[in-house]
Amino acid sequence: MSRILVTGAAGFVGSHLCEALIEGGHEVLAMDNLVTGRAGNLDEIFYHDRFTFHEHDVTEFVHVSGELDWVIHLASLASPVFYSDYPIKTLKVGALGTHKTLGLAKEKDASYLFASTSEVYGDPEVNPQPESYRGNVDSYGPRSCYDESKRYGESLLRAYRDEHDIDVRIARIFNTYGPRMRLDDGRVIPTFVRQALNGEDLTVHGDGSQTRSFCYVSDLIGGFDRLMESDVQTPVNVGNPDERTILSLAELVIDLTDSESDITHEPLPPQDPQVRKPDIGKAKSELGWEPTVPLEEGLERSIEYFESVM
């Protein structure tokens, strides 16, 4: 049994990870400031004897009593709606939050997993994106608070690894979806499902030819598990290479919800990436991991959840 601190624990991904860790026999110390996370996401494990929740902002001093084996830093404002509304908080959690939790890992001699993002690749000129691709990112652009918070976080992990011999892992996460996503967070799957279930037109930006690759949350958690079991201390893409156009996604959501919604088109947001597809060759060869949940199956599970909370 490991004793593990998870930041951002009440969020969509964090709550699923905490459940998996508890099921795996570990002790989990969960931390979240509940700005975008919801304590209700943790209802299934909240009173478990190996689970403890701390409402705390990781940009402030972080203290944990006792030993720690792992620090898993998921805290971030990952959706466009939230990081646009809170750009400074987004930058602070990527910079100060990462710095303070790395300091804790150093103090406790713990290993450290950082949730990075495919957004470090920006609007890529290479498709699919391998970890070796350095990206096409505007450091002063409208998305920069999120992109640069993660790029800085990766750099900070490299520095702590080299200077303090911290055992680090970096997961570059590609568009993850599933139950417990917030319907109001602005990401495309919950937005399309909410619109379809309400009989509203699905709003596709541009002509819908831009692509994304969607990874179901249980596959992502499996990728985290394999990464933690490995000794790979360099970034690893964790995502599903099944690349879809946004227009085809809208059509699929309408079909799966039996909705009578139509599709309308709106202007593209500035600097919206035109393609997004992970090269997962490294994850396959070094972690023995690849996703297994098809998009249609994952969407059906997600739609069932969204119906239950609307």
**DSSP structure string for the chain:** --EEEEETTTSHHHHHHHHHHHHTT-EEEEEE--SS--GGGGTTTTT-TTEEEEE--TTS-----S--SEEEE--S--SHHHHHH-HHHHHHIIIIIHHHHHHHHHHHT-EEEEEEEGGGGBS-SSSSB-TT---B--TTSTTHHHHHHHHHHHHHHHHHHHHH---EEEEEE--EE-TT--TTS--HHHHHHHHHHTTPPEEEETTS--EEE-EEHHHHHHHHHHHHHS---S-EEES---EEEHHHHHHHHHHHHT----EEEEPPPTT--S---B--HHIIIII-------HHHHHHHHHHHHHHH-
Is 216 assigned a catalytic role?
no
- Of 83, 112, 146, 177, catalytic: 146
Active site amino acids: 146
